[in-house]
Structure 1
């Protein structure tokens, strides 16, 4: 946010210095037409108005953050804080205010001269044009900023972007967590969430050592100093330090490389909407649609879990964990709402059509959702509608037999 404000301030100083060099080339008649009072009045109006607009914009942003934290989920406020349009608007208004202050100070010292005022006038007109465009964009952006639907779209996009920039494969059966005999473990040096793994740095270490490195954790995992983060065939203090340096830790999970966090936040938004205090099944249905798109993107676009040379291997994402991240909270909190329950059954069926290898795991989640509905629904008609949706997708699966036995 500070960059654009600093850019405006530096531009005003540069204009003041440029006036001394450009002033001799400006025609005298133009210099006399633009008096110091005209420029000074414009800058005074700009300074007072930009201070008010900056205060208003900051108030609107804080209100949106508070509303999102209370009505949607606190985890979603991170995306609002990082919104580029809001940051650009606030920094533009603040930078224009600083530009005006510097210009007024320069005029009062007489540094511009008669010809130099033309440069300041042209710069002021340019700043006004930028302000008008930014203000119009900001007004249009405020109509959706912090709203539930807009926040759901943001979470979906950031989860999809995390898939695009990361090397994931989705597995039905998670990899065994036991180390291979004779391999050297590398332990974490910090306690916190892993937010990023520098695969290129790990690849360079693996190529130099001439061995493979198996990464045992992924972004989003919480680790302690007793947790193994990698295994390799050779060991030395320098290589261990380089491997640890490739892992970035933080106190909180980040969206950039952690699509599971996107699924968790989507489920939190749905759970808040499905609570008795809010009672908004439409938001739960919208979340299910976004969650299906993210899940299908994971299943379709999963990258080979290794680096460029193939010496760095990443663990697989468990499709069971992904399903639980997204669907279990919605199945729990929406069990009594027929519209949400039917949409959940259809959503699971759509994912099963894309991932036939995980059909059994998905069917078990569908049966679990139906069992929750049978325990929570008071209306027999609603329950029969959910059962009909379940039978239309899962009657011939082993999950149906499991459900009847249960």
Structure 2
């Protein structure tokens, strides 16, 4: 295959200008996209034919496809977007494009013509969803129609050229079987978490960026009984709940005049008036944490959310800080008491060396000891170095402690075998019914 070298890039740049010059711009507004595509392709083919003395047929084809991608698609990104294995596309200026596959970052040979080329593609993506990015509005953060997330920042804020991050979400929904096959969790741990959801235990998922918080939230949500009404609230709609009675809401940023913003906190407050059985918030980042805790404490048991934190203990500290952002002048022990009352289970997920994502700890909040939140660990992943492929290796363990929420499960009629909590290394063999 012919690669787009610097010489072909220069020719493509000239061709692009000539194609625009050849188009009847007054007629474009009345043309169907199919007709416009045909017109652009015809012009491009003719311009390439005039250069056939020094362009091979393969080079002409590369140029024609490149021009069509630039005019109607995502330019050099088209080949990356078409690859379902790619989960992240990271652009650091026109000549540096990274992708993530299976948790590993790698540099691609994809290149743009210049900074302006990158900006034009980002402007096209943003324009399709009614957003704007230019020198007066040099940042954009938005959800694309396919569920992917776009974040872009351009000069003058980006000093070395446009910076673009596209986080992609596949249409295929992760299942419990996927988590087990990828060794992200032990079957006994998953069985316990499923019982927690069924028994309406409030769950907080904690982890860093890209650690798999939303994926786990999606999987755990599948255990919510079908007859319940569930309200979901997200900044960018990623959850894929399959229950028949789900009401989905998404925040809205302010427009270019700074008006019209609808925050997560606005939606949580509104959801309380919608008679939900449970509320699932994609991520708590600020003052909405207070409303979420109040919802969990006032008849919406079994609700779930996620936070950015590195340990289960840090997760409760993050909640304290976010509740403080609500602007109420209350003693810290009051906030901690509300957290201890509202949250029952904290699940820590992490992206380990080599890119694997695992549930590394499941802790239970047991109440208060003086002015401090008390918690104990039920399950954990213990790393034992790296394997031959330099990926983290280790085992899952039960700590031997029985959770206090067993009484809640018993009251809900949810049976949980006691052997789950016996102190031991946990088996990770995938059950036969999932292998099939």
Greater relative contact order (Cα < 8 A, sep 6+) = 1
Greater share of residues in helix: 1
* Structure with the larger strand share: 2
TM over 0.5: no
TM-score interval w.r.t. the shorter chain? under 0.3
Which structure would you say has the larger Rg? 1
User: TM-score, normalising length from structure 1?
Assistant: 0.26
TM score, norm. by length of structure 2? 0.25
